[in-house]
Amino acid sequence: MMTGLYAAILALIQIALTLNVVRYRLSKKVSLGDGGDKELTGAIRAHGNFTEIVPMALILIYLIEAHSAMYWMVHTMGIMLVVSRAFHIGALLNILKGTLPRVIGTASAMAVLLLGTFTMFWLLLV
């Protein structure tokens, strides 16, 4: 199963994002919320957005793989998902400057979800 590769890569990113929030919380002495700190807000949102988008995308990728063995589609969507999340995380953590990386990250993640959704509909109807 190729989806497992992308799930493992994304799990490592999830761990890093979680540890990043913990690091900020400890250094800022904020146990709940963001304490009005912009860096902590960015870390929380990077972690939260990742957690909101990745599970459904992985489910769709897995279902496409299990239903049809369209490996090129699995790899396309998996790579797009990892890259989209990297751009979005980089923007929210101020590693990548400007709004373009965030737009690219968000748009490409939505493209993965839409591609997965329409592909599943197509596979179920054919």
Please write down the HEC assignment for all residues of 72-96. Answer: HHHHHHHHHHHHHHHHHHHHHCCCC
pLDDT value, residue 42: 92
pLDDT value, residue 4: 96
pLDDT value, residue 96: 92
Which residue range is the domain that position 113 belongs to?
3-125
How many domains in the chain? 1
CATH number at residue 26: 1.20.120.550
Supply the pTM of this predicted model. 0.91
pLDDT value, residue 69: 74
Per residue of the chain (126 residues), what is the pLDDT tens digit? 899 999 999 999 999 999 999 999 999 999 898 899 999 999 999 999 999 999 999 999 999 999 987 899 999 999 999 999 999 999 999 899 989 999 999 999 999 999 999 999 999 998
